[in-house]
A and B are shown apart, each in its own frame.
Chain A
Amino acid sequence: MDSPLLPHGVKRCSTWAFFFWTLPWLALLAWGGLSAFLCLWKGLNQTNMSNVFAFALWIVFDLAVIALGAGAFFTGFLTYIMGQKELKNIIKPAVIIGFICYSGAMAMLGIDIGQPIRGWFIFWHANIHSMLVEVSFCITCYLMVLAIEFIPIILENRKLEEIKELRIFGHSLHEIMAVFAATGTFLSFFHQGSLGGMFGVMYARPFAAREGFYIWPWTFFLFVLSAIACGPCFTILCTKLTEFFSRKKLVPDSAIQLLAKISAWLLSLYMVLKIADYLGWMYGIIPRSGLTFESFFREGPYGVYLVVCEIIVCGILPAIILMVPKGRQNQGWLIIACLLNCTGIVLNRFLFIVVTLAIPVMPFDRFWGYLPTWQEWGIGFAVIGYGFLLFSAAYRYLPIFPKERELNPITE
């Protein structure tokens, strides 16, 4: 039915099969739509957020998808600035994943603030001392950059390419993509960093507070590093998932291996610095506040196991697997390592957001726990549904994998 829209020389499932594939994701979107409507109409009392958990599931989701979406800017940086031509085979899906992550995060933030209509006050009444202002400015600008990077990919659609003006416009944008890759890298560095800075500057919350360099707490640099360590792994995971569902090879191993290797080095460096950060914090900020590391996990549902999981299971372990050539060349191990790496980063964000707020600072206050409502899950899952839908549509209608035809010749 939609065959004139499909890219040349590649095989795609039938329209009906594609329609049924989209149903579960549309259901997630509907769930999210209902949740969003309730939250906007009745207010944030529809969530289980409270004066204790001022930040909760949505902020964890936001920070997680923004870290995972870092594959876009980092792959762009490696491809266009560092000249890693091999990565041209994966840059388009990376950009689309980035766009999905950032636009999803922005949509969630729009519902998360108590007065969504006043969202523009961030820009109008900007408090330049606030890390969150830097985050908002950079994310908004970077989403525009991602949209610009996405446009030429959309214009490669078979039907759109037939229009001469659009074709020329798309190709012209391609020519100057390095400029946008550089802009994206600059913006991403600052918002990934200031997302970390947001928590490091909370000096009255000893669990999150960090020392640092000039105005930037160490979390600023650690968040940048962790994002570029896990972003490529998330891109690999999405590619592998697409290969699994489409039952074909889409990206040459060399590109995947290069990304995995780069990720391995970055994750290893991150682990070394993160452990140093933990030690510096345990022997610096914590005792200065009159506390001990154990005192943070005295009660409540969040225990030391989270930190052990973050550092050892989801940090050192995937770093070793990815570092060893035999480990990353084995498909199973590669996927496990990428999954663990991404989980570790999400866990890190969870610790900084939910666990920070669950721990009381006043000695006579109590520990708290938090479980999201279905409305909160709905909006979180809607972003996943939106991601699947957009990526599936992009895969179906756009030639996002340049080597697909070469790797899967149609023999008819």
Chain B
Amino acid sequence: MKKGNDHGKHKYGMVIDIDKCTGCGTCMVACAAENNVSVRADQSDKERTITWMRLYKISNGKEFPHTEVSYFPRPCMHCDHHPPCVSVCVATATKLDFNTGIVSQIYTRCIGCRYCQAACPYGARYFNWWDAFPQDKGMDRYLTPEVSPRMRGVVEKCTFCHHRLMRAKTLAYAEDRRELEEGEYVTACTEACPAQAITFGDLNNPEHEVSKLIKHPFTFRLLERIGTEPKVYYHSSRDWVRKLGDNFLPGEYTPVVNKTWAEEEWSTKPGRDEF
């Protein structure tokens, strides 16, 4: 058994290109449908609705005509270093899998104390305030058979569509393969994004696109300074977007102005914010 994730065989993660994201919300819909996320007739109480993948609208705060708007799609970050939610869980209902890097949630073991929600700075964990689905509406016919619906009173979160990994592995085993090809296992949000803003893959595999993208200077992570080591990366050529990825004291943020995406090398041209 592997002792630490750095030595793990696979480390699944994603890179979300914020410059490509149009904020259409398809990732949210695909995620909810794929993962049997509970819905209610009235979804207006946003403090209590469940959105494993959630879009945050951000703005550069400037007046027209300099206003720019963008979106942060936020799944679970699947923190790689000492995930804040894992160590606090009283009943060992959540765990970081060192072989895949996925932070899992065992619904049938969760007692619903919500300590993990309090510990997570990304708001990626959701509590089932109501029973799963209206029983008499026939909605159970639309459920994904591979994903168990959650009962009232437990916490749930994005699993990187773990069932898709299981499915891909089963298929590979049937074909007498022990390793998955790139693209064989992707999350529902990755597959659904019409702008192809999400790239998913094995961060430990140098052949995978994600492992190349995370080395780019425009790539950053949410709240990197806190030290949670998220496996979800973001990519943007705009400094104001990158700056919103973390908290900075005045003068602390260093803009990446000398690197241009097109040339893939250091140059003296200013970054996009300068135009």
Q: Which residues of A contact B (CB under 8 A)?
A: 43-45, 49-55, 112-115, 118-119, 121-122, 124-127, 129-133, 136, 198, 201-206, 287-292, 295, 356-357, 361-365, 368
B195 to chain A, nearest CB (A): 20
B226 near A206 with CB under 8 A, answer yes
Known: A118-B111, A201-B87, A288-B225. A125 touches B93 (CB 8 A): yes
Please state if A113 and B84 are interface contacts (CB–CB under 8 Å): no
Q: Which of B193-240 contact A (CB under 8 A)?
A: 222-223, 225-228
Contacts of A43 in B (CB 8 A): 129-131, 152-153
**B56 contacts chain A at the CB level, 8 A cutoff:** yes
* 8 tightest Cβ-Cβ pairs between the two chains A and B: A114-B112, A114-B153, A290-B247, A50-B47, A361-B121, A54-B114, A54-B117, A204-B121
- Give Cα A53–Cα B113 distance, bound, in whole angstroms: 12
- Pick from A54, A201, A287: contact of B127, CB below 8 A: A54
Q: Select B91's contact among A55, A126, A204, A368, beta carbons within 8 Å.
A: A126
B142 CB, min distance to chain A CBs, angstroms:
23
A364 to B58, Cβ gap below 8 A? yes
Residues of A within 8 A of B249 (CB): 287, 290-292
Q: What is the bound-complex CA distance between A356 and B176, given in angstroms?
A: 51
Q: Which residue of A lies closest to B57 (CB)?
A: A364
- The answer, yes or no, to whether B90 is at the interface (CB within 8 Å) is yes
A126 touches B90 (CB 8 A): yes
Complex alpha-carbon distance, A351 and B223, angstroms: 23
Per-residue contact bits, chain B 7-30, to A (CB 8 Å; 1 contact, 0 not): 000000000000000000000000
Q: Which of B93-115 contact A (CB under 8 A)?
A: 93, 109-115
Contact B87 A119 (CB under 8 A): no
Residues on B with C-beta less than 8 A from A131 are 88
Question: Is residue B259 contacting chain A, with contact meaning CB distance below 8 A?
Answer: no
A-B contact pairs, 15 of them (CB 8 A): A51-B126, A113-B112, A114-B114, A118-B91, A118-B109, A121-B109, A124-B91, A127-B91, A127-B92, A130-B87, A289-B247, A362-B121, A362-B123, A362-B222, A363-B244
Tell me if B160 counts as interface (CB < 8 A to partner A).
no
> CB of B120 within 8 A of chain A?
yes
Query: B246, A363: Cβ atoms under 8 Å?
Result: yes
Q: B125 contacts A51, CB within 8 Å?
A: yes
Chain B residues with a Cβ under 8 A of chain A: 45, 47-48, 56, 58, 72, 82, 84, 87-93, 109-115, 117-123, 125-131, 151-155, 222-223, 225-228, 244-249, 252
Nearest CB in chain B to that of A287: its residue: B249
A119 CA to B91 CA in the complex, in Å?
Answer: 9
Q: Is the CB of B112 within 8 A of A50?
A: no
Name the residue of chain B whose CB is nearest to the CB of A120.
B111
Whole-angstrom distance from the CB of B57 to the nearest CB of chain A?
8
Contact call A203/B226, Cβ cutoff below 8 A: yes
State whether B131 touches A50 (Cβ < 8 A): no
Least CB distance, A38 to chain B, in whole angstroms: 13
Task: Report if A114-B154 is in contact (Cβ < 8 Å); known contacts: A203-B227, A365-B123.
Answer: yes
Q: Are B153 and A290 in contact (CB under 8 A)?
A: no
- Whether B84 contacts A202 by the Cβ 8 Å rule is yes
Once bound together, how far apart are the Cα atoms of A98 and B170, in whole Å? 57
Q: List A contacts of B226 (CB < 8 A).
A: 203-204, 206, 289, 361
Task: Point out the residue from A55, A125, A130, A362 that lies within 8 Å of B118, measured CB to CB.
Answer: A55
- CB of A132 within 8 A of CB of B90, answer yes
Q: Smallest distance from the beta carbon of A386 to chain B beta carbons, Å? A: 23
Q: How far is the CA of A290 from the CA of B254 in the complex (A)?
A: 13
